[in-house]
């Protein structure tokens, strides 16, 4: 069991609003400490595709007070930030004393966080090695890395519709339980969520034009009050969100699709 925290930030966010978002993200990260105390980490994606990662093998309450995190939240999470991801870790595989095993995990252009257990990660990397996929050398030993290796193997030059289909197909190779949030630096306005039998809740805050994700529904309820009415997102489903469309779509995804089906479901929200 691990904890996930995330924010998708809409356009035209001024410094005052961004400071509120950063405070809420930090509180969300700390609220998830009870789900994992062995390591904590955070990452930010900027609209130009640049990103930064900070993590350490300490519990969240300690992590958010470290000079490295304070520097990260002050100097890296700047206007133009589109995604912030956080993770609190309870290890099932891979020592937290090895930095590569802690989250967020980067594989190529993909950065993500994961809660759950993948049981066929060794086979996934073996199959990639046999196919001689580029950049598939395993960095750590944590099972979560297999998720992001699969996602990074997808051609980012595909049309968006084909790219989403490829995510759906890649997820079908995973065996285990997982909820994962990840971004691709080549798609800097988008956030991807795969939910397969592990909890995550979401809330859109209109005053901040930001979408908040948390493994702890109770945090969202305490932070935003009675406006938080959905305990959890439906499971066995993938979601794609776009920061440019938040004011119109609110918490509705740009795409959602079944993780065990080849059929892509396109809601009426927005398209381009």
Q: What is the pLDDT of residues 237-263, one digit of tens each?
A: 999 999 999 999 888 999 999 997 433
- The rounded percent of the chain whose pLDDT value lies above 90 is 79
**Between 265 and 93, the higher pLDDT residue:** 93
Decide if 85 contacts 112 (C-beta within 8 A).
Answer: yes
How far apart (Å, rounded) are the C-alpha atoms in residues 50 and 81? 9
What average pLDDT does the segment 203-228 reach? 92
- Residue 14's CB is within 10 A of a number of other CB atoms, namely 8
Give pLDDT, residue 56. Answer: 97
What average pLDDT does the segment 94-115 reach? 96
Q: Is the pLDDT reported for residue 270 higher than 50?
A: no
What average pLDDT does the segment 159-188 reach? 95
How far apart (Å, rounded) are the C-alpha atoms in residues 93 and 75? 32
Decide if 250 contacts 267 (C-beta within 8 A).
Answer: no
Give pLDDT, residue 14. Answer: 87
Give pLDDT, residue 130. Answer: 83
DSSP 258: E
Question: What's the pLDDT band for 266 if we cut at 50, 70, 90?
Answer: very low
179 burial level (CB within 10 Å; 0-12, 13-18, 19+): buried
Beta bridge partners of 206: none
Question: What's the pLDDT band for 272 if we cut at 50, 70, 90?
Answer: very low
- Closest among 103, 179, 98, 109 to 150, alpha carbons compared: 109
CATH topology of domain 3-265: 3.60.20
What average pLDDT does the segment 95-120 reach? 96
Give pLDDT, residue 230. Answer: 67
Decide if 35 contacts 216 (C-beta within 8 A).
Answer: yes
Lookup: tokens for 132: 């001689």
What average pLDDT does the segment 152-164 reach? 93
- Closest among 155, 132, 168 to 263, alpha carbons compared: 168
- Closest among 104, 150, 96, 155 to 123, alpha carbons compared: 150
| Among the ranges given (125-129, 172-176, 190-194, 211-215), the one the predictor scored with the smallest mean pLDDT | 125-129
Give pLDDT, residue 261. Answer: 43
At 226, is the secondary structure helix, strand, or coil?
helix
- Closest among 154, 153, 56 to 101, alpha carbons compared: 56
Please state the separation of Cα 57 from the chain's center in Å.
Answer: 19
Question: What's the pLDDT band for 267 if we cut at 50, 70, 90?
Answer: very low
Beta strands in the chain (DSSP E): 3-9, 39-46, 51-56, 81-89, 105-107, 110-118, 176-184, 190-196, 201-205, 210-214, 237-242, 255-258, 264-265
Q: Is the pLDDT reported for residue 47 higher than 70?
A: yes
| Among the ranges given (54-58, 186-190, 241-245, 256-260), the one the predictor scored with the smallest mean pLDDT | 256-260
With b for 16 or more beta-carbon neighbours within 10 A and e for fewer, the 195-217 pattern comes to bbebbbbbbbbeebbbbbbbbbb
Residues 6+ apart with CB under 8 A from 2: 35, 36, 87, 88, 89, 90, 103, 113, 114, 115, 116, 215
Q: How many residues does the chain have?
A: 272
What average pLDDT does the segment 25-36 reach? 97
Question: What's the pLDDT band for 136 if we cut at 50, 70, 90?
Answer: low
Tell me if the pTM is above 0.85.
Answer: yes
What average pLDDT does the segment 155-178 reach? 93
Question: What's the pLDDT band for 158 if we cut at 50, 70, 90?
Answer: very high
């Amino acid at each position: 069991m691990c904890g996930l925290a995330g924010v998708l930030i809409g356009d035209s966010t001024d410094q005052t609003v961004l400071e509120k978002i950063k405070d809420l993200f930090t509180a969300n990260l700390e609220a998830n400490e009870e789900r994992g105390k062995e390591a904590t980490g955070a990452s930010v994606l900027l609209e130009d595709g640049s990103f930064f990662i900070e993590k350490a093998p300490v519990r969240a309450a300690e992590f958010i007070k470290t000079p490295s995190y304070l520097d990260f939240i002050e100097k890296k999470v700047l206007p133009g930030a589109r995604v912030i991801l956080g993770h609190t870790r309870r290890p099932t595989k891979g020592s937290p004393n090895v930095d590569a095993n802690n989250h967020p995990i980067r594989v190529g252009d993909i950065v993500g966080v994961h809660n759950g257990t993948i049981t066929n990660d060794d086979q996934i990397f073996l199959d990639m090695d046999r196919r001689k996929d580029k950049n598939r050398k395993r960095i750590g030993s944590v099972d979560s890395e297999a998720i992001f290796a699969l996602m990074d193997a997808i051609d980012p030059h595909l049309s968006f519709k084909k790219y989403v289909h490829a995510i759906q197909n890649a997820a079908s190779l995973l065996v285990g339980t997982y909820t994962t949030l990840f971004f691709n630096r080549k798609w800097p306005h988008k956030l991807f969520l795969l939910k397969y039998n592990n909890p995550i809740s979401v809330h859109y805050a209109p005053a901040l034009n930001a979408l908040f994700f948390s493994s702890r529904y109770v945090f969202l309820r305490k932070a935003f009050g009675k406006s938080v009415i959905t305990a959890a997102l439906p499971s066995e489903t993938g979601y794609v969100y776009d920061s440019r469309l938040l004011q119109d779509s609110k918490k509705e995804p740009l795409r959602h699709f079944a993780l065990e089906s080849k059929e892509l479901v396109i809601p009426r929200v927005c398209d381009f």
